A and B are shown apart, each in its own frame.
Chain A
Amino acid sequence: GQQLNQSPQSMFIQEGEDVSMNCTSSSIFNTWLWYKQDPGEGPVLLIALYKAGELTSNGRLTAQFGITRKDSFLNISASIPSDVGIYFCAPYSGNTGKLIFGQGTTLQVKP
């Protein structure tokens, strides 16, 4: 079956440090989305990627859609305390209509 692996599972970093997380899959996807979830809230979209090789930025966040369409990474530069939360990759398949989620990366930032 379809496998989606997100890593790392958790990170504990110092404020100001850069962060990188990634997702790899056994399947090809049309779209890669990255979401952030704060405690007690639903996931909120951070970045959307629609083309293989696409590199997109949103403020301090940068994400790339892998050229093989089977992976994506998210970088956060100069982390701040409000970056704390759970980050999810969420690839979408137009063939199945499914939007699935990685296992999540829990980020903690020490001021």
Chain B
Amino acid sequence: DTAVSQTPKYLVTQMGNDKSIKCEQNLGHDTMYWYKQDSKKFLKIMFSYNNKELIINETVPNRFSPKSPDKAHLNLHINSLELGDSAVYFCASRPHHSGQNTEAFFGQGTRLTVV
């Protein structure tokens, strides 16, 4: 059973389109994240949700809108896609509390290519 699963794995789309990436975790974690990995492999945090509530929004353009229907899901919707949005997007989840056994687990990533 996959702990954190993202779909789709690959997404090729034209500029100006709207697309969504889905993420689900079966670990019972309270906190979920979206990260963007650029061509230089830098992993930049975008959003964090805790129990369906937004707690971190790292100056991401308004075209990106996360949605958490329940604490096991955090989807990412992107409007009016631009060339610069091309990257690999990773979903992750972790328990909310601090201390032992609070590591984050990552999905396999969604490679988004905007043409």
* Interface residues in chain A, defined as those with a beta carbon under 8 Å from any beta carbon in chain B: 30-31, 33, 35, 37, 40-45, 48, 50, 86, 88, 90, 92, 94, 96-101, 103-104, 106
Contact = CB atoms under 8 A, between A and B. Distances in A.
B98 A101 contact: no
B98 A48 contact: no
Nearest to A90: B104
Interface of B: 4, 31, 33, 35, 40-45, 48, 50, 55-56, 90, 92, 94, 98-100, 102-109
B48 to A, nearest CB: 6
Nearest to B111: A40
Nearest to A44: B106
Contact of A100 (B45, B50, B98): B45
A99 B108 contact: no
Contacts of B55: 97
Given A97-B55, A97-B56, A98-B45, A42 B98 contact: no
